[in-house]
Each structure stands twice: as structure tokens, then as C-alpha cells.
Amino acid sequence: MEKQSITNTSSSPWIRGSCIGRGCFGTVTKAVSKIDGGVFAVKSVDLATCLPSQSESLENEITILRSLKSHPHIVRFLGDDVSKEGTTSFRNLHLEYLPEGDLSNGGTVVDETLIRRYVWCLVSALGHVHSNGIVHCDVKSKNVLVVNGGSSVKLADFGSAMEFKKPTAGIAPRGSPLWMAPEVIRREYQGPESDVWSLGCTVIEMLTRKPAWEDNGFDSLSRIGYSNELPFIPAGVSELGRDFLDKCLRRDRSQRWSCGQLLEHPFLCQDHHSFVTESSPRCVLDWVNSDFEEDEVSDVARVESTVSAMARMSKLATTGGAKWESNGWIEVRANAFEESGAQGEYLVSARVESELNTSVRPPGNEESTSAMTCELLLQSGNMPGQKIETGHEDMVHDVQMDYYGKRVATASSDCTIKITGVSNNGGSQHLATLTGHRGPVWQVAWAHPKFGSFLASCSYDGQVILWKEGSQNQWTQAHVFTDHKSSVNSIAWAPHDLGLSLACGSSDGNISVFTGRADGGWDTTKIDQAHPVGVTSVSWAPATSPGALVSSGLLDPVYKLASGGCDNTVKVWKLSNGSWKMDCFPALQKHTDWVRDVAWAPNLGLPKSTIASGSQDGKVIIWTVGKEGEQWEGKILKDFMTPVWRVSWSLTGNMLAVSDGNNNVTVWKEAVDGEWEQVTVLE
């Protein structure tokens, strides 16, 4: 039996046991009452070291749960306190202990009768929440806990919940983006109707074991918020089930059914008398429902669960308790290319910075959607393959290595950044976790080491955070940029010759460039409405003009940016007299769908400027221009017939890596005649 770490405080009426979960909110541990031996769960934050957002979330959950009357399908609130444990003070929330796990940890639920049972429990719980003037704001499978051997479920995690208020402009969205309703993504409104949309997404998640929307980062949020699309309902769902989902997933919130109406829907009411609603015990001797007041369950029929239900549930629930720890992995692979000329290109250095050849594979198929994984391909033939556990609790969106190739920074939907040390002998070590964002973190970017140890991150919360390393692996927030009103989707550091400058592209349509001053302050320049529908990506031009290395005399540095957007265009911008102006007329228009990524190639003396763009339409286009003022010309590299995630150049600018929606990374090389040839493919 695994030995548990127990902290006994003489002044506390309970004993803290082993840790069973960690996250943005703090930690969850088992606890045992000194009074009656009851086992319960304690969600805690360290008052000395926690972020304001962590303590606010916990206090909010305590307030909400304290105000709610007990309900058989809501995790029970058992109290709260502040405990002194050694020299550390903790703020604690006491909850019933539910060891069977949550719905996100198991398999698909193939039996529609069982799904109806779970959905009825959730609708009943949400109806109770809404009737008390509260919105849950984060309904999803991960917040639905299994009880009674799989015969019933309970709604949990009220950290994002809020009292419902009349609609106001410019709300701050709460919850998990892929489950948010369209009006929440647009920051217009968040109310009971929004929970109903999330419920519909959760039902689809039960059926498919993956979110109702594919996690393609911010562009998925744009589809949810601004398109006419609806989540795909899998085959095999009954007509009643489809009609129920239709009542939940209407883009016009005024057309969605309320929880009261949903309880009367034939999909639920035909079978609700067989739903099991027993409570979980507080201690080992309390295996019956004696702790429930009669009025809490008077409206729910109590019947024994069947053997078949238990068998079905075994496919869904976890067997070893709630899996709070991350199982997310990043595979780091080396690949020495055998083709002529390619090996020397990629054996130059293990220094793989964001400006060079780091390729990320976002999960995009059925095998990877349930795992928090991506692949980082190091273009260094002498580095052994490594697997690095990220420690993230949700999808990984970006991976970047520092200048020396010794540390990996990862960005995730769990709102954190992880930094991991890697070595050539295959070892890895978790070095730091950076918390501060209140939404999914889309990208990270290391600054050049000449400026010190800086890392930038951007998030759905609209913030860009600049992190600074003081003593080794001790990171603090050096600056938080809050200039954008919507998700910041892309960040890029300028070539170090241009100083410490960071470009940021946002869904609000604007591009901001933040430049550090000698006194530690920051200057800001903006490109308003660069792409009115939203900016997806930004990339800096080299600091020298094409052909500069073979020219004589001193040349002025070049301040140019390329950007891609949801308007299907690529644009080029130039800094002139302190302001950014468009430097290509018209915009570069060959794509037929959103431009996901742009990358400006290093020129190293080449007589032309080159930009690569990858799009949702599946095409990669190579844009080139010779002299200043000439027209850009675009040539399709290939139609990959699947969305293109990333494009990334080699050091010399004559090799291009392309990451696509089929989880393939292909490498392309420009021949002497200007044609592009595929060098290799990594599947």
C-alpha cells in the first residue's frame, strides 16, 4: 500500500492526507475528521504564495456553495476554514470525497439509457443552481463526478460560478473556452442559457470522449462565437437525443430551452424514474443515505442500480480514483536527414529557437484529442529521442526551446506555462510552472539571451505576460500588457539587432508592438484593425535588407512585420517615422480561408524577401519580392488537403518545415531553379 503523506495540526479538527489533485486553483488533498473518522476532500491554497486569482476563485467557490441548499446531484459543501500547518497558512474548502473520478477520464458511454440518466442528473443540478440565481459557467465532463459505482453523477467545481446579473456589455468570460456558448465567446452575456449550451457540448463529449469542438486554438473560438456552425452530433444518437441536443445548442440563446423545460423533454422524462440518486458516504461506516435530509431527495425516485448499468459504467469511470495528475507527454525526436545536403543543414546546432526550426504538432486526430500531447521536432541529428512529461492538465498549444536548446517552454489550456530542462543524454527535469493567465495560453516566445532570461506568453484572456528569471528557475512577472480587448493569438520577438521588441496579434483585429526602454519601461506602437476579423499570426522580417551581406557600406536596420488573419490575407507592415504602415498593396490574397501562420525567412544575403503562409484551406504559399516597392508574387508550395498549422524556416532560409492537420511534418528545400522539393516527411 502506498504510504500517504499526513500532516497533523494540533489545532485543527481534521488531519490532512495525501495530495489527490493539483491545478490552477491550488491543491486537493484527502482529509480525515478527528471527530468521527469521516473522509472528505480539502481544496486549499497557500495564503502566502498563491496568486490573487487563485484565492479569489476559492473564496468564490466557498461563497457560492455556502449559499446553495444541498442537492443530490451537486457535490456537497462540508465547510471551510483556515489552517496553520507549520509555518504555512492555508485557506481550505471542505467537500465530500468522491473517489470514482470524473467523466473525462473514462471511455465513451455507448448506452443511451445511461446517458439519459447522467444528463437528467446534470439538468436537475443546473436547474437547482439557476433557481438560486447562480450560473455555473464551467459545465463539462471534467467537472462531472461519478458516484455510486457509476449509476449517478454530481456537478462539481464552482470556482467559476457567479451570481446571475442582467446583461451588460463587455463581460469577462468564465469557464473553459471549448464549452463556452457563442455569446460568451463574444463577451456579450453569460447566464443560465449559456450553461445549457455547455450542457449540450458535455453530452456530445460523453458520446465521443472528446470536446464537441476540435481544439484548434483561438480559431476554434472564432468558429464558436462568430460562425453559423454547430457541434457535430455523432451517428447513432436517437431522434429524441438529437432533438434534445437541438434544444440545447441553438446559437440564439433566446431559443434555447431552460432546465425546467429540458426535464420535461421526452429524452429525459421517459426514463427518469429509474435514476439512482444515492449519496456518497462521508466515512467508511456511512454507506447509506442517512446524512441526507428527506426533502433533499423527495422528488427523486430511489431504486437499486442494475448489474448491467454497473458493467456499462466500468467503461466510463476510472478504477483507481480521480486522475488529477497529468498524463500529458511531449515527444521530442531527432531526425538526421539522409538526403543530399539536408543533413549538414540540420546538424549545425542544437540551438533551436522560435525564430529557427521548431515545429509543433497540435493534436488533430482521434488518437490525440483525449491526450495533452504534441510533438517537438528538434532539427539536430545527434540528439537522442526523448519523451518529456509536460505536467499539463489540458491541451498543449505551443512548445518553444530556448536559445541554447537546454530548456523547453510549453503553453496549455490549463492556463499555465511549464519549463522543462532537457539534455542530450535523454534526461529531462521539470524546472518551473508559471501561473498568471486566466485563460488558455496560446503561445510562448523566448527573448534573445543578450537581454537576459525573458519569456513572453499570450493568452485567450487578452493578456501578454513578460516573465523574467531572477535566480535560477525562479520566474516572476516583469510586466503584464493589457492593451488588447480580446484573445492574443500570436507573439514574436524582433531580431535582436532591433532591440527588445515584441509583436502581438489579437482577435480584436489589432497588432501591438512593445519595445523595452533602458529605464525598464515600455513603449507601445499599434496597427489598428490590421485584420478586422482577427489577427492569427505575426512574424518579423530580418533586420537587414535582401542582399545586404554582399553590399558595401552601412545600412539602416529594417523594421518590417508580416501578419496573417481571419480575412484570409497576408499583410506586410513597415515602421516609418514612429508609426506602422502597410507595405504591400493590395494585401496578399491567394488563400481562401483563414491564414493560420506566417513566417518570414532569414535572407543571409539572398537577393529577395520570402514569406511562407499556411492556411485553413490546406495550402502553403511562398511569397517573394525582389527590390523595395515591387509587387509580391505568390506561388503555391502544395495543397495539403488539410489545415496547415505551422510553417517554420531553417537558419539559411532555403528549407521550410510544414506541420499539417494530419499530424505530419514535411520538410521542403528550394532548388537552384527556384522550385521546391519535399525532402522528408515525419508521420
Question: Which residue, chain included where needed, has cell 453569460?
Answer: 190
Residues with Cβ within 8 Å of 69's Cβ and at least 6 positions away in sequence, in order, are 128, 132, 296
- Please give the grid coordinates belonging to residue 191: 447566464
Q: Are 640 and 621 in contact (CB under 8 A)?
A: no
**Concatenated DSSP letters for 423-479?**
-TTS-EEEEEEEE--SS-EEEEEEPPGGG-SEEEEEETTS-EEEEEE-STT-EEEEE
Q: What is the largest CA-CA distance in the chain?
A: 90
Residues with Cβ within 8 Å of 12's Cβ and at least 6 positions away in sequence, in order, are 34, 81, 83, 85
**622, amino acid identity:** I
- Please give the grid coordinates belonging to residue 230: 454547430
**Cα angle, residue 643 at apex, residues 642 and 644 outer, rounded to 5°:** 115
Q: Check 80, 102, 111, 138 and give the catalytic one.
A: 138
**291, amino acid identity:** D
43 assigned binding-site residue: yes
**Cα angle, residue 662 at apex, residues 661 and 663 outer, rounded to 5°:** 90
DSSP H helical segments within 145-248, as ranges? Answer: 182-185, 192-208, 218-226, 239-248
Q: For 92, list phi and psi in degrees, rounded to 5.
A: -125, 140
The DSSP output letter for 165 is: -
501 C-beta neighbours (distance < 10 Å), count: 21
For residue 122, give the nearest of 189, 45, 195, 30 by alpha carbon: 195
Q: Are 643 and 301 in contact (CB under 8 A)?
A: no
H or E element in which residue 372 lies: none
Q: Give the whole-angstrom CA distance, residue 170 versus residue 188.
A: 6
Q: Give the whole-angstrom CA distance, residue 31 versus residue 18.
A: 8
Residues in the chain: 683
User: Does 157 participate in catalysis according to the annotation?
Assistant: no
Q: Give the whole-angstrom CA distance, residue 567 versus residue 302.
A: 56
Kindly tell me the sign of the dihedral angle through the C-alpha atoms of 345, 349, 354, 355: negative
Question: Which residue, chain included where needed, has cell 437525443?
Answer: 241
Residues belonging to the binding site are 43
Query: Which residues are marked as active site?
Result: 138
Residues belonging to the binding site for ATP are 43
